[in-house]
Structure formats: structure tokens, C-alpha cells
Chain A
Amino acid sequence: MKIRSLLAPILGVAAFFGLWELLVRVGNVPTYALRPPSQILRYLFTESTGFPRATYQTGADALKALLIALVIGLAFGALMAASRWFEEAAQPVLILIQVTPWVAYSASVVLWIGGGTKPVLFVATLVCVPAFAFASMTGLRSADPASLEVLRSVNASSWETMWRVRLPGALPSLFTAARFAVGLSLAAVYYTEGGALSNNGLGATGRKALAANAALPLWSTVFCSAILGAIALTSISVLERVLLRWHASQRRATR
């Protein structure tokens, strides 16, 4: 059971890479456009330098941005869940953040804040906040009224109610938001790194490779980003298994 559930995704990824390899080799794709995974792997393990560092940098920044966005989003979500007035005030701003293409302003943020990690964290955090804010709002509000009333019957404080009923009940929607935000955060970090010159993450490496017309390093940054995303999503799934053991989404069908 355990092994089979581990084997399935590995086989899926292997099949995907196999297809990619086949496509490049049989389809006569020009080498400056797309490289086969075998070459990328060989490059990563034998010739390249600095990729582990760059991957770590990008991963750490994306994770930091996610966590900061989670905290800010939770705060916003709690306030919005508590007050319609605040919800109405905050909603248009959050939607604006959500629908504005961050690619369009990320370069301006670099100009404004300067190079390095700061603009990277700023953009990635900003774009992830709305997802967490909306998820917390609906999650916190969806608490079972009967459970809330049980707590009211002993005069539990709103903090106690938040901590013991509302927050655990919001976890499923927070996890859904986290899944969505992982890709967003990685993309925002990668892209903004490319614009923030002094940074040495995957995005900066990729941007330099692009400028030098070096397909292999460029595709290696793509490859490493994908690995980061896969690690992040797997971690979320594992966390979900543990923390949402009680939730219908985590229960296996008995038949």
C-alpha cells in the first residue's frame, strides 16, 4: 500500500521525462529551444557550478514569502471574517493584487526597493497574500454554528474559540490555498530574481543564461525550479495527511 502510493508519482514523472526525451530526439527540436532531460541532468551533475546554492536560495526565499504571506493572510482573513465592514474595505484591494499581473510591476519594485533579496520577498509575498486571506476568511467563517454555540454556553473567549474551533476548521481551505500559492511564490521569486541583479538564485542564473543564449543552464534552472515545486507540494501533502487525518478529503474510500 505504502510502496504503491510512492511508486505511482515516480512512475508518472519518469514517463513524463521519457516522453520529453523522445520528443526532443525524434522531433528534431532545435537545441537552443529545448534540451532533453538526459543532457540537463548530465550538465547539472558534471559541468555546472553553483546550482545547489542557487536552488537553495530560490527555495528558501519562496518558502519565506509563503510563510510571511500566510501570517499576513491569516490576519487579514481573521479581520475580514470578524467584520463585514473590514471585508468590504479589504476585498477590492486583495482582488486588485490578485488580478494585476505581477510580471508587469516586478521590475519597478526592484527599482524602488533595490537589488538583492528584498524585492524578491516583497513581490512573492504580495502575490500570495490574497489566496491566504480569502481562504482564511471562508475557513474561519465556516465553523459549525452548533460547535460555536457549545463554546458560547460556557462563555469561551473569542480567542479560545478562534484557537480551538475556527482555526483548525480553516486548515482544509488553508491547505488548498497553499497548494495554489506554492507555484505563485516560486514563479514570483524566480522572475523577480532575474530582475534583481545582485541576487544569485535560480532566476538570476536563468536570466544570465538567457542573455548569453545558453540553453543548457537555462533549462537547468527550469529543471531545478520544478524540483523545488515538487518538493514543496509533496511536503504539503505529507503535512495534510498528518494534520487533516480527520477530514473527509484525507479518508480513503473503504471499498
Chain B
Amino acid sequence: MSAETAAIRLTGVSKRFGQLLALCDISLTVRPGEFFTLLGASGSGKTTLLRIIAGLEQPTAGEVVVEGGSPADARRRKLLGWVPQSPALLPWRTVAANVQLLTQVNRSANPATTVDTSALLARVGLAGFEDALPHELSGGMQQRVALVRAFALGAPILLMDEPFASLDEITRFEMRHLLLDLWQSSGAAVVFVTHSLAEAAYLSDRVAVLTARPGRVAAIHDIASPRPRVPQLEDTPEFFANVTALRDSLRIAMAPESSVTR
């Protein structure tokens, strides 16, 4: 794949925290518009990898290219929509104001066409909540606001760190569907971090399975289920097969280091 067709390209990325080797020799390519998932056990360095892509953390070794430039460049040009694990809404800002926060800073880098945020809020079922404060919303609603805040940038890349981890199973199920809906009309590439097999199998085009400490790419799975994906997909044999394949892959990845071939 040539450099122009890659949204994100990692080459030999390693990260060391003092004595601890968190990531080891990660090479990955995320294609434009692709839904790419990082699946791994706790401590496998998923968050660290996402932060390296965003330039919030420097790799110890290796190269990161985001939209043809450095991660710092990508941030300067507002090409990254960041969705943290907690919604991280500003409690004094209304829903509408929180969603607009990122377009109000570093304005010179805003894209020429603006995203209609009230339409996005309506899409995720938050019409009528524009003037509500975050503490008046449920956890799931807050996370939806955080999603819309990232999509409001109109950025070509979205980085999401277990955005649904703190939600209950029913809400998570709804959120998957909402996220796909938003993503499909945005055309952005998504790097999605999770340790939920169902989430990975439902959402992704491709899933990279990481080993634990140090994090290495153990396998990359293609998820061929056709799009648009609908909640009923989760009841199909095909979906079960994908989940099983991911589970097996994860089990091998978590086994003692010697069994991982690289």
C-alpha cells in the first residue's frame, strides 16, 4: 500500500516506560475511511498506542505518519477527533456548547465546511437536550455527546479509547449502532480501542489483536460482514464465528511470550 492511501502508518513503533516495555515493534496501516479496532487485554498498551498516534505520547522507536505528516502536524491541522474513555465533558457547558468546544479553539485550522452539530445531536437521540448540563444526562447520553463532539470536527481520523467501557451492556449495544451510523456518513477512518469481542466483531473492518506486555500485533482479522450492519447481525452464525475467531486469537496472544511468533 502506498503512503497516499494510508490514513495512519506505524512502522516499528516501540514504547518504553523506564524498565517497562509497553509496546514492541508495532507496524500497522489504517486505510482512509476504515474502521480499525485494537483489541487486547488490559495492559497490552492500547491506550499508549492511541496516544502515540495522536502525538500525545512520543514513541521510543519507530515512525508514525498521520495523513501524510507527523502526529503533531495532524493535531495542528485538527485532523484528529479524540474520544476518551470518560466523556470528559465540561460540566459548566451545556450539551450544545460542549459539542462546539473543539471548533472554538485553534480556529484557524477549522475546515471550510462546518458540521451541523444539532443534526448530529438529533441523530444520536439528543434533540431537545441542547441546553441541558452534563450532570443532567445519563452516562450513555454523556458518551453520545462526547462522540458528537469528536464528529463535529469533520476530521478524517477518529481515535476512540474504549468509549463505551463504563456503560451497561444494553446501552453499549445501542451505542455500537449509533457509532456506525455516525461513522458511515462521516467517511472518517476510526481507530477504536476495546477489549470487548462483540464490539470488535460488530463494528470493525479489521481488528488487530495485541499481545500483553509488551504489546505486539499478534494477528490482524478481516471482518467481512456486509454493511450497513444492523443489530440483528449479532444473532447470526457469521457473527458468532467472528467472535470465536477473535477469542481464539486473543487467547493465543495472551499465552506466554514464547508461543507468539513474530
Contacts and interface: CB of A to CB of B under 8 A. Distances in A.
B90 A149 contact: no
Contacts of A248: 135
B105 A149 contact: no
Contact of B75 (A146, A147, A154): A154
Given A149-B84, A155-B78, 4 more contacts: A154-B109, A245-B133, A246-B133, A246-B134
Interface in A33-81: none
A165 interface: yes
Contacts of A151: 101-102, 105
A152 B84 CA distance: 12
B86 A149 contact: no
Contacts of A245: 92, 133
A246 B135 CA distance: 7
Interface stretch (A85-93, A110-118, A156-164, A200-208): A156-164
B236 interface: no
19 contacts: A144-B88, A146-B86, A147-B89, A149-B84, A150-B82, A150-B101, A150-B102, A151-B105, A152-B56, A153-B81, A154-B105, A154-B106, A154-B109, A155-B72, A155-B109, A157-B106, A160-B106, A171-B92, A244-B92
Contacts of B76: 155
Contacts of B80: 153-154
Contacts of A157: 105-106
Nearest to B86: A146
A246 B91 contact: yes
Contacts, number: 72
B153 interface: yes
Q: Is the interface of A mostly helix, strand, loop or mixed?
A: helix
A144 B98 CA distance: 14
A251 B135 contact: yes
Contacts of A251: 135
B88 A149 contact: yes
B2 interface: no
Contacts of A25: none
Contact of B90 (A152, A154, A155, A168): A168
A130 B63 CA distance: 48
A168 B133 CA distance: 14
A129 to B, nearest CB: 26
B56 A149 contact: yes
Contact of A154 (B89, B91, B134, B153): B153
B85 interface: yes
Interface of B: 54, 56, 72, 75-76, 78, 80-82, 84-86, 88-92, 101-102, 104-106, 109, 133-135, 149, 153, 159
Interface in A227-245: 244-245
Contact of A246 (B54, B92, B102, B109): B92
Nearest to B75: A155
Given A147-B88, A152-B56, A153-B54, A164 B104 contact: yes
A245 B92 CA distance: 8
Interface string A137-150: 00000001011011
A161 B92 CA distance: 15
Given A153-B54, A153-B75, A155-B75, A165 B90 contact: yes
Contacts of A150: 82, 84, 88, 101-102, 149
A149 B78 CA distance: 14
Which of A147, A155, A168, A251 is most buried by chain B, counting CB atoms within 10 A of its CB? A155
B192 to A, nearest CB: 16
B106 A155 contact: yes
B90 A164 contact: yes
B237 to A, nearest CB: 39
Contact of B105 (A147, A160, A246): A160
A247 B91 contact: yes
The 6 closest A-B pairs by CB, nearest first: A153-B82, A146-B88, A156-B105, A246-B92, A160-B105, A155-B75
A68 to B, nearest CB: 26
Contacts of A247: 91-92
Contacts of B135: 246, 248, 251
A157 B108 CA distance: 12
Nearest to A243: B92
Which of A151, A154, A165, A245 is most buried by chain B, counting CB atoms within 10 A of its CB? A154
